[in-house]
Amino acid sequence: MGWFDLWPSLREALFATLYMVSVSAVIAVLGGLPIGVLLIATDRGGLFPAPLVNRVLSGIVNLGRSIPFIILMVALIPVTRAIVKTSLGSTAAIVPLSIAAIPFYARVAETALREVDRGLIEMAQAVGCNSWQVVAKVLIPEALPGLVRGLTITLISLIGHSAMAGAIGGGGLGDLAIRYGYQRFETDVMVATVVTLIILVQVVQGVGDRLAALLQHR
């Protein structure tokens, strides 16, 4: 297969990867950020300390993070079927990808939120903020550069996982590399996919760094 013939399938695979990764990333942030907030808010000395809730939540997050993705993917097939009615294709791959990325982003967000100076929270309380306002007006805006850097890490980890999802019929660049490059020994396909992945990761990291720097008014 020449480069010219390769392009359509490469493009299709790239779009499938972008689709899986971006939708999963959105779900990861929507699910992970609130968990991250809860993790620091319920901690000792947090906004509303609740040691038991904190321990249970932390345990669930650890559980989610300790299962290797390839196993999680297979184990979640029934869940995936229940949600998207199929276990094949890119949309189906979003289910395990999101479920793996939520606890990952929750920890990343927790770390970023923890960096926010306690004095700022005290100040917010002194001007009469309620807990929700402390989160919305102080914690998240102040942690935003860190949250963006964390999102960059999550996206890159999702790109890696999405390649794995390709192995069980999720489509995308990983799928292309395995089916053509590995199973059919088409080295040029393998090289093209890997190069595309490298560029993709570079772009994500570059944009993430730039955005984080822009948000950091220091």
Q: How many residues does the chain have?
A: 218
Q: What share of the chain is helix, strand, coil (3-state, %, to 5)?
A: 85, 0, 15
State the nearest-atom distance from the C-beta of 46 to other proteins, in Å.
Answer: 15
Helices (H), 85-186: 90-114, 118-126, 131-133, 140-167, 173-176
User: Whole-number minimum distance, CB 40 to other proteins, in Å?
Assistant: 17
118 closest CA partner among 102, 97, 99, 134? 134
- Would residue 116 be called left, alpha or beta, if left means φ above 0 and alpha means ψ between -120 and 50 degrees? beta
Residue number, 68 or 128, with CB nearest to other proteins: 128
* Between 85 and 217, CB nearer to other proteins: 217
Would you tell me which residues interact with other proteins (CB under 8 A)?
Answer: 117, 119-120, 122-130, 133, 137-138, 141-142, 144, 215-218
Give whichever of 85 and 218 is closer to other proteins, judged by the CB atom.
218
User: What's the closest the beta carbon of residue 54 comes to other proteins, in angstroms?
Assistant: 19
The conformation of residue 129, written as its DSSP 8-state character, comes to -
First-to-last CA distance in the chain? Answer: 51
Closest contact distance (angstroms) between CB of 44 and other proteins is 13
* Angle of helix 51-66 versus helix 3-41 axis, rounded to 10: 160
Q: How far is the CB of 115 from other proteins (least distance, A)?
A: 11
In a 3-state reduction of DSSP, which class is residue 74?
helix
Residue 141 or 160: the one with the smaller Cβ distance to other proteins is 141
* Cβ-based nearer residue to other proteins, 53 or 144: 144
